Amino acid sequence: MRRFTLWCSAIALAFSTTVSAKDFTVVTTVKPLNLIVQELVEGVTTSESILPPGTSPHDYALRPSDVKKIQDADLVIWVGPELERFLTKLLTDKENSLAITLSHSVDFRHYDHDEVIDHGDHKHSHDGIDPHLWLGPKQAIQAANVITSALVKHDPLHKNEYEANLSQFTAEVEEAILALENKLKPVANHGYFVFHDGYGYFEEQFGLNNLGHFTVEPDRRPGAKTLISIRRTLQDQQASCVFSEPQFSPSVINSVINGTEVKIGTLDPMATNIAEGKGGYVQFLEELGESFSKCLK
């Protein structure tokens, strides 16, 4: 009888573990964040991002299907209200959600509190945390530690798997950092402009020479003063490249570089064309580095 009881207990434990692995659902917001989370849940479960690839989180509107995914998830991982403002009401005080910007374990970059951007019809003061943490390899590793702690808290049966995945992810990103340092060092002093001010983590990590940006937030059109200032800098041959983004119309950039010899490059901060799955985040870093290197040479 005792043997039968032990056998039943063993079957029940195995069944509960299987159910946990199958039923534990993780939802993220933007694809680049999901690339990190996918590495951490590898072999245990899967994670799904809410926003379609290439979609800007700055002006996204939730669909009913998005709300259902969030409500059904065991854990919702988002950057925080500084990026996904559309989630603030839905996720505030939600116990099974993780806002990474609320963590004190990530070295966040802060915008200049005194910076005022002219948008033509109004002026916009931009301050606070830079939420584009996935563009900083060091910050991605720090965020991965925070995410792993949340995974272990909500799914303790797979603590060993999550921590092993974190260790492997950390090693792979650190290896990618060394390779990118060698790749970008020859062009580190070459000046350039970016479409919007979102690459600070990557630029600081690799010592790149950003001369300025067209706009602070992608959904805000740059003002005339900003465009005149950029064009004057381009005419003075201080910049060798201007970077656009695939999500936004390049018409403004084309008009500014017209008549100059400045090259146009493309940076994809939302990892639009990166295949999801194992190694996706490192591939994202490598392609970003290649984009900088190719245009700045």
The 3-class secondary structure across 181-197, one letter per residue, is HHHHHHHCCCEEEEEEC
CA within 13 Å, CB half, 94: 20
pLDDT of residue 196: 80
**Helix pair 31-41, 280-296: axis angle to 10 deg:** 140
User: Who's near 13: CB < 8 A, 6+ residues apart?
Assistant: none
Q: According to the model, what pLDDT value does residue 257 have?
A: 79
Domain positions in the chain:
23-179, 186-296
In 75-199, which ranges are E strands? Answer: 75-78, 97-99, 110-111, 116-118, 123-125, 128-129, 191-196
Query: Of the CATH numbers 3.60.15.10, 3.40.720.10, 3.40.50.1980, 3.30.110.70, which one belongs to the domain with range 186-296?
Result: 3.40.50.1980
Whether residue 214 contacts residue 253, with contact meaning beta carbons closer than 8 Å, is answered with: yes
**How many Cα atoms occupy the beta-carbon half-sphere of 39 within 13 Å?**
28
Q: Which CATH superfamily is domain 23-179 in?
A: Nitrogenase molybdenum iron protein domain (3.40.50.1980)
Q: What is the pLDDT of residue 112?
A: 64
Dihedral angle computed from the Cα positions of residues 67, 70, 71 and 76, in that order, rounded to the nearest 10 degrees: -150
Q: CB–CB of 177/204 below 8 Å?
A: no
Q: What is the pLDDT of residue 229?
A: 78
Q: What is the pLDDT of residue 92?
A: 80
Q: What angle do CA 31, 33, 36 make, to 5 degrees?
A: 110
- Spatial CA neighbour of 56 closest among 246, 252, 282, 283: 246
pLDDT given for residue 259 in this prediction:
77
Residues of the chain with pLDDT under 50: 4, 6-7, 10-12, 14-21, 113-126
Tens of pLDDT, residue by residue over 119-178, are: 333 333 345 899 999 999 999 999 999 999 999 999 999 999 999 999 999 999 999 999
- Domain 23-179 identical in fold to domain 186-296: yes
Q: What is the pLDDT of residue 4?
A: 47
